[in-house]
Chain A
Amino acid sequence: MATPAQNIDLNKTPSGSTLLEGTSLWKDAWQRLRKNKAAVVCGFIVLFLIIACAIGPQLLDWIFGYTFEAQDLEYGAKGPTLAPFHPFGTDFFGRDLLTRVLVGGRISLKVGLIAASVAAIVGTIYGAVSGFFGGKIDDGMMRFVDVLYALPYMFLVIILVTIFEKSESLLFVALGLVGWLTTARIVRGQVLSLKEQDFIQAARSIGARSHSIIFRHLIPNTLGPVIVYFTLTVPTMILQEAFLSFLGLGIQPPNPSLGTLMNDGANQMLVYWWTIVFPGIFMSLLLFSLNFLGDGVRDALDPKMRKG
């Protein structure tokens, strides 16, 4: 094996602190993302909105005793005032609109994140398996995706809602049901091209089993597009949720969501303008920031695309 001279060399460089650290492609992308000012600003806005939604309602409850369903009919439908503290005004039943927007934002974010995560995870695994095994398995799995694609989505959701009880989890199911299809197709396409690369053959020749090839070699190399798609799916899912709630198929009153709040606001906007303006601004800001952040992530993960 190694000659004595080389052994001395090895002793001189004990493992640990003297190892030369490398820059992974993830780290590289992260550094690029941090240089993108728009993405960083939007990232902070998203973070701020998430924190506000997470702890805001609790704070308002402690300080002022507002909850999203506590009515104060004496003080119904008043415009924005700071004293008493109703910066977004109150709705027709005297509920504090700020509290309702924050709670609604919480539900919308939850739906968006969970549905997008489900879509990303299921889609990635499904697409990777389909692309890796190829042939008849691939054909079968992809035809199934085609069939689901072809089903009229709204129709499906309406059927689901009529059969089962309306609930938040049903919303996740309904949104997740269609979200993973695109991810699966993206990942399958990636895997088909990655599969031909030498390092997959190399993995076979060094004794990797199929599951280890899929999870260690293929999926990490497809995560770039998946993450990009994920960041762009979250706002889509939020919008879908708002749309479903707007139709009355999603979140049920008195629970607020951004969709139901805007639905209520739309009915009264000629008289009580604040009932639509504030939820509208909140939602636009959230979607706008998420989309910008997604664009930034895409540019960071795929620097070539931006130049082209």
Chain B
Amino acid sequence: MSQNPQNLLQVRDLKVHFPMPKKFGQERAVVKAVDGIDLDIRAGETLGLVGESGCGKSTLGRAILQLIRPTEGSVTFEGQELTTLWKQRFGLFGVWSPNEMMRRKRQDMQMIFQDPFSSLNPRMTVEDIVGEPLKNYGILSGKALREKVQDLLQTVGMDPRYIRRYPHEFSGGQCQRIGIARALALNPKIIVADEPISALDVSIQAQILNLLEKLQDEFNLTYIFIAHDLAAVRHISDRVAVMYLGKVVEISDQETIIKNPKHPYTKALISAIPLPDPEQEKNRKHIVLEGDVPSPINPPSGCSFHTRCPIAEDRCKRELPILRNLNENHRVSCHLV
């Protein structure tokens, strides 16, 4: 499959399955966290990835960066296949050195984590944390390294005098800034932000979103922005992909998703965004989904959403809908659209 030059990253039929412990006398159960996903990410854009807890969006983000090894499928980054990269030999006379090629590739792909505290090593100073990527790749050392770290801290809006402090001496928002500075250190091309604001106070959320947007302009970054509600994603994203049970059910540009959603699940998500006007909010009809997300071990037959879908028909229980084009920019997987 040739790659569209517009696309920085291309995901094809990506699957991540986790085998469960085998029970006696039964087939080994498998959690299908990510079950066949196609995505194209263009250089410079922000792709929002939205879905309920447990729908596999974090797994997808980590599988794209190869932090979790995908079961099947391909991830192509700048024309380079990543899923087989760890197998490639590296070093003098091709001496076996697993993961070294992938390690080198990671310079261009970074990640921002959800929990700002657990993503920073509590025993390391800010200087060590932010400087570590540069040290790992042998880019800078000594005085130049310290200056670069201070520079990075300023870029993310922190006092550079804090470099000798430890993570537990900062607030959640500050820790998240440190995490962002660490991700920026290597000058990456793409950053996967895994719910970077959902653990923060509302006032801080806006600050971090603005910071991420500013950095995108400054460093020409591409984001995959993961969130569990559309409200967070709508401001920062150019395009939005909605996930349900390990699959993308609808993908389009941000405006279309908000104003003209087609998939019943997307509609439900949008009706969950509160409106600022209390009068409007009161008179609005909410779509409330019944029940829980089905287990990804035994996904429902046919369309995996039919158990909770308000408009499901018989056909939905039998036939698996495919993600088809409504128009060039709008793809949806539903029989009834």
**Could you tell me which A residues sit within 8 Å of B by CB distance?**
1-2, 6, 9-10, 13, 15, 18-25, 197-199, 201-209, 212, 216-217, 220-221
Contacts and interface: CB of A to CB of B under 8 A. Distances in A.
A34 to B, nearest CB: 19
Given A9-B154, A198-B118, A207-B106, 19 more contacts: A2-B155, A10-B150, A15-B147, A15-B163, A19-B161, A22-B164, A22-B166, A23-B166, A23-B169, A24-B125, A198-B113, A201-B62, A204-B106, A206-B106, A206-B110, A207-B186, A208-B136, A212-B136, A220-B121
A25 B62 CA distance: 30
A25 B115 contact: no
Contacts of A217: 121
Contacts of A18: 161
Given A206-B132, A208-B136, A221 B121 contact: yes
B260 to A, nearest CB: 36
Interface string B175-216: 000010011011000000000000000000000000000000
B136 A206 contact: yes
A198 B162 contact: no
Nearest to A3: B154
27 contacts: A1-B151, A6-B154, A9-B154, A10-B151, A10-B160, A15-B146, A19-B161, A20-B162, A21-B164, A21-B165, A22-B164, A24-B166, A197-B118, A197-B119, A199-B120, A201-B111, A201-B113, A201-B119, A202-B119, A202-B179, A204-B67, A205-B65, A206-B106, A207-B106, A216-B124, A220-B121, A221-B122
B235 interface: no
A13 B160 contact: yes
B46 interface: no
B133 A206 contact: yes
A220 B125 contact: no
Nearest to A220: B123
Given A202-B113, A206-B110, A221 B166 contact: no
A205 B111 contact: yes
A254 to B, nearest CB: 48
A207 B137 contact: yes
B161 A13 contact: yes
A20 B165 contact: yes
Contact of A20 (B111, B122, B164, B179): B164
Given A22-B169, A205-B65, A199 B110 contact: no
